[in-house]
Amino acid sequence: MKKKNTYYLIAIIGIVLLGVGLSLLKFVLQPQGILLTLPYICIGFGSGLFGHGVGELVNHKAAKRNPSLQRQMEISRKDERNISIVNHAKAKAYDMMIYVFGALMVSFALMGVDVFIVLLLIFAYLVVVGFHIYYINKYNKEM
């Protein structure tokens, strides 16, 4: 029951953020600075939160109506084969992300995009690679 209330709260926060973003977009006539992007960020996060909350509520209601479906979903979620497939897909996506981010940073630098944006991308790239190295060392010590 506690999770169900959390999903309602997430959906409501999503609607509020979506409304704030749309109202900022509509009523701010001369946006400057952060107001150029804030409405779109609010719309994006609001849509994501609303979709997540409503999706989890629908899953909860479907599982509540059909106990065998709930049991099947739980078995599928804990199945070692499915966990291995998901982890393998994450690893492949990470490998591809490294090359895509690298190409994006180089292309932004060659296009003459603002240095601050390129530095933010480089920082994000290095954070991801840093976490990768950290976890490689951590798991090597454990195994």
pLDDT digits (tens, 9 = 90+) for 32-44: 888 888 899 999 9
79 or 111: which leads in pLDDT: 111
Least confident of 78-82, 126-130, 131-135: 78-82
- Classify burial at 116, counting beta carbons within 10 Å of its beta carbon; exposed 0-12, middle 13-18, buried 19 or more: exposed
Q: Phi then psi for 37, rounded to 5 degrees?
A: -110, -20
Which of the 8 DSSP states describes residue 112?
T
Taking only the tens place, the pLDDT of each residue in 94-120 is: 999 999 988 988 998 899 888 888 888
Taking the domains of the chain in order of start, what are their residue ranges? Answer: 1-78, 80-143
Q: What is d(CA 142, CA 138) in angstroms, rounded to the nearest whole number?
A: 6
Q: What is d(CA 128, CA 96) in angstroms, rounded to the nearest whole number?
A: 13
Taking only the tens place, the pLDDT of each residue in 50-73 is: 999 999 998 888 888 888 877 887
67 or 16: which leads in pLDDT: 16
Q: Residue 2: pLDDT above 70? A: no
Q: Please give the mean pLDDT across all residues of the chain.
A: 88
How much is the pTM?
Answer: 0.60
